[in-house]
Amino acid sequence: MGIRRSALRALATLGATASIIALGVLAITMPPTGRGPQRGAAGDGGGGKRIVVSLQQRKLWLIQGRDTLMVSSVAIGKGQTFTYGGRTFRFQTPRGQRRVRAKEVNPVWTPPDWHYLERAAREKLEPVELKPGNRYYLEDGTYIEIRGDQVGRVNRYGNFWPFTPGTEIIFDGKIFIPPLNTAQRRVPDALGTRKLDLGDGYLIHGTHVYNEDSIGRAVSHGCIRMKNEEVEKLYELVEVGTPVVIY
C-alpha cells in the first residue's frame, strides 16, 4: 500500500520523519518533545509503538519499528460546522501529534451540549438547560427536577421517577438538557466497547450497534471510530503514552 508524496509532506509539517519501509507501510519517527511521560505512561511511553491515522484514506495503522501490527478502516470527523443560538461547533478530526492519555473498557459517553442542540435544530425543539433547585412544569401538571445526581419526573402524587440514562428527555416540544454531573448525562454503549483518550475531547473508540456501517466514512463529530473487534485489539496492543500522528 503506497503513501503519496502529499501525505509525506503533510507529515513533515507535523515535525515527524516519514519513510517507506520494505513492506510498503508508513514508518514515523517522532521528534523529542522535551517532556517526560504523561501520568499513567509505562516504559518509554508506548513501547516503541505509534498510531498513525490518515484522514484522506480513513485508515489507522499501528506500527512498531519496521513492522505494521494492524491496519484498520476508521470513521473520521464530518468536517462540518454547526451553529445554534449564537454558538458554533466545528466537527472535524484535527491533524497533528497527540498521545494516548487514558484507556477505558466499556466507556460511558457524556454528550457535549452540541448533541442536544443538534436534535433541537433537527426536530424544532426548544432546548432547556436543567439546573438544580428548579422545577420545570409540564403541560400535564407533572414536573421535572433534579435530586442528587438524578434527573426525574414527579407525578401528581409526588412520586419521583428518575429518567433512564441514555434516553433523552423530550416533552411539550422541548428537549431538557441534564447537568454534566447527573446520571442522565451519561450514555452507555455509545462509544462501543473500548476508548483511547487523545485529549481535548477527541477519542479513538468503538461503534454503537446503530452506526456500525459508518466505518470508512466522514461522519463523526471529530472522534476516530473503529469496529469494536478492532478497537479491542488496538486497546490490548497500546499503552498509555503511545504517540498518535493524525495527518
Condensed to tens digits (0 to 9), the pLDDT of residues 155-179 reads 999 999 999 998 999 999 999 999 9
CATH number for the domain formed by residue range(s) 5-107+194-246: 2.40.440.10
In the block, which residue shows the cell 476516530? 224
Whether 131 shows a pLDDT value over 80: the answer reads yes
49-54 vs 26-29, strand pairing mode: unpaired
Span(s) in the chain for CATH 2.40.440.10: 5-107+194-246
Dist. CA 39–CA 55, nearest whole Å: 28
Burial class of residue 141, CB neighbours in 10 A (0-12, 13-18, 19+): exposed
Q: Which residues contact 151 (CB under 8 A, 6 or more apart)?
A: 130, 144, 145, 162, 163, 169, 176, 178, 179, 182, 183, 184
Claim: this prediction has a pTM higher than 0.95: no
Q: Give percent of the chain with pLDDT exceeding 70.
A: 81
Predicted confidence (pLDDT) per residue in 92-127, tens digit: 999 999 999 999 999 999 999 999 999 999 999 999
Q: What's residue 189's pLDDT?
A: 92
Residues linked to residue 87 through DSSP beta bridges, in sequence order: 84
Q: Is 40 a residue whose pLDDT tops 80?
A: no
Least confident piece of the model among 21-35, 85-99, 168-182, 229-243? 21-35
C-alpha grid cell for residue 153? 419526573
User: Is the pLDDT at 2 greater than 90, yes or no?
Assistant: no
Q: Does 144 or 10 have the greater pLDDT score?
A: 144
* Cβ contacts of 122 within 8 Å, gap of 6 or more: none
pLDDT of residue 211: 87
> Which carries the bigger pLDDT value, residue 127 or residue 8?
127
Give the burial string for 69-96 (b: 16+ CB within 10 Å, else e): eeebebbbbbeeeeeeeeeebebbbeee
- 3-state SS of 39-81? CCCCCCCCCCEEEEEECCCCEEEEEECCEEEEEEECEEECCEE
Report the pLDDT value the prediction gives residue 216, as an integer from 0 to 100.
97
pLDDT at residue 210, as a whole number:
87
Beta strands at 243-246 and 49-54: parallel, antiparallel or unpaired: parallel
- CA atoms of 126 and 117, how far apart (whole Å): 9
**Is the model's pLDDT at 36 over the cut of 80?**
no
Residue 192 above 70 pLDDT? yes
Q: What's the pLDDT score for residue 45?
A: 60
Dist. CA 93–CA 84, nearest whole Å:
21
> Is residue 25's pLDDT more than 70?
no
